Amino acid sequence: MGTDDAGVEADFCAFVDGRQASLRHAAWLLTGDLALAEDLVQVALVKSWPHWPKLVGSAGAEAYVRRTLLTTYSSWWRRKWRREVPGHVPDVAGRDEPSQLAISTSVKSALLSLPPRQRAAVVLRYFEDLTEAQTAEALRCSVGNVKSQTSRALDKLRAFPGLGELLVEGAEP
What is the domain-level CATH number for residue 68?
Answer: 1.10.1740
CA-nearest of 104, 133, 106, 136 to 120 is 136
**pLDDT: is 103 or 43 the higher one?**
43
Sign of CA dihedral 76, 140, 105, 164: negative
For residue 154, the model assigns a pLDDT of: 86
Do 74 and 110 lie in one domain? The reply is no
Do 60 and 107 lie in one domain? The reply is no
What is the domain-level CATH number for residue 152?
Answer: 1.10.10.10
Mark which of 89, 110, 138 sits at the end of a domain. Answer: 89
Q: What is residue 62's three-state secondary structure?
A: helix
Q: What is the CA radius of gyration of the chain?
A: 18
The count of domains in the chain is 2
Residue 41 · residue 22 · CB < 8 Å: no
CA separation for the pair 79, 77 (Å, rounded): 5
CA separation for the pair 124, 135 (Å, rounded): 6
Do 9 and 83 lie in one domain? The reply is yes
CA separation for the pair 17, 110 (Å, rounded): 30
Do 64 and 108 lie in one domain? The reply is no
Mark which of 55, 89, 123 sits at the end of a domain. Answer: 89
Do 8 and 71 lie in one domain? The reply is yes
For residue 145, the model assigns a pLDDT of: 94
Do 117 and 77 lie in one domain? The reply is no
CA separation for the pair 154, 86 (Å, rounded): 31
User: Whole domain around residue 130: which residue ranges?
Assistant: 96-173
Mark which of 39, 55, 89 sits at the end of a domain. Answer: 89
Do 82 and 100 lie in one domain? The reply is no
pLDDT tens-digit profile of 135-144?
998 888 999 9
pLDDT tens-digit profile of 33-67?
888 899 999 999 999 999 888 887 777 888 889 88
Residue 171 · residue 108 · CB < 8 Å: no
pLDDT tens-digit profile of 109-129?
888 889 989 999 988 898 888
